[in-house]
Amino acid sequence: MKILIIGGAGYIGSHVARAFLDHGYEVTVFDNLQTGFRENLFEDARFVHGDIMHPEQLRAVMAGGYDGCVHLAALKAAGQSMLHPDAYAESNISGAINILNQASAAGISPIIFSSSAAVYGSPQYLPIDESHPKEPENFYGFTKLEVERLLDWYDRLKGMRYAAIRYFNAAGYDVQGRIKGLELNPENLLPIVMEVAVGIREKLSVFGDDYPTRDGSGIRDYVHVSDLAEAHVTAFEYVVKHDKSLVINLGSQTGVSVLEMVERARAITGMPIPAEIRGRRAGDPAELVASSSKALELLGWVPKYSDVDTLVSTTWKMYEKHVSR
């Protein structure tokens, strides 16, 4: 079967492309290489350099006929989305509309959509299941929820099936080291910790140690990107088999605190990783942990690599060659 992966040269997208290839799919990657890397492209996948903001480029690539499409091309920094909502609206919402309209015209369905736990906002209960209220607190989360709403209407009006996959905190790298590109100017905890470990950054700022958590620092549900990628294949196959759309959380269901992550990183890297306790970051909830029981029940999805030591060690393998001191 042929699958089109839009945004397949990015951090998560390249792992998703790898998973579909490993399952024997014929993969085409469509990417503008704005945040993705050419070095993340695979020999056994076709690559089309294009931009979702150009409907004619989408029309051209979709003319190839596909059994489904994975859409991961979006801006994803929550903090930046509050400063530049126009850029996020254009890329994440208008870009998605272009994809849906061209996919509809080309008769491509299902759409597997990279959504986010950010659609929930602050947790009203834990663990967060798919029925939790959707009250996003950053514009990034709003854009993801808006696209989910579009998908629901395209399903109802056009029969375009979809799977919306709500990622919790994606981390780690391919255990076989097949993904080469390092995120530039990362905003997320683990890559920042690694930049401190190799000397790219001087120290880590720990955003708050006065939260009502076991050690006072923020707790998140980190899920290995390869576990995430595998779920995209099984979600695609589920939607095709049942001709029924799906919305699922993907998280490890275990919480790790910032201080615990730093401690494991020091132990595994052997580097000091200096850290300074700072004030809380605006908009950060104390704790976010997923319920992924729906993914387990419907897809049989069980994370294999999402333990903290595998997350840290696979990321360290990517960074250790960049030690600058």
**Contacts with ligand WQD, residue ranges (CB under 6 A):** 76, 78, 116, 118, 140, 167, 169, 187-189, 192, 204-207, 218, 220, 258, 281, 284
Other residues' Cβ atoms within 10 Å of the Cβ of residue 125: 10
Nearer to ligand WQD, 78 or 289 (CB): 78
Beta bridge partners, 128, equal 290
Decide: 209 and 216 in contact? Cβ < 8 Å. Answer: yes
Nearer to ligand WQD, 32 or 115 (CB): 115
What minimum distance in Å lies between the beta carbon of 297 and ligand WQD? 23
Q: Which tokens sit at 136?
A: 């996003």
> For this structure, is 154 an active site residue?
no
CA-to-CA separations, 145 to 106, 135, 242, in angstroms, rounded: 24, 9, 24
State CA 13 to chain mean position distance. 8
What minimum distance in Å lies between the beta carbon of 240 and ligand WQD? 25
CA distance 36 to 183: 8
CA distance 149 to 81: 19
State CA 11 to chain mean position distance. 8
What minimum distance in Å lies between the beta carbon of 95 and ligand WQD? 16
The one catalytic residue among 140, 154, 162, 222: 140
Nearer to ligand WQD, 55 or 85 (CB): 85
What minimum distance in Å lies between the beta carbon of 277 and ligand WQD? 9
Decide: 42 and 18 in contact? Cβ < 8 Å. Answer: yes
Rounded to 10 degrees, the C-alpha dihedral 8/176/45/52 comes to 0
Closest residue to ligand WQD, based on beta-carbon distance: 218
What minimum distance in Å lies between the beta carbon of 229 and ligand WQD? 15
Nearer to ligand WQD, 102 or 252 (CB): 252
Nearer to ligand WQD, 11 or 20 (CB): 11
Beta bridge partners, 247, equal 164
Among 220, 236, 213, CA closest to 78: 220
Give the catalytic positions in this structure. Answer: 140
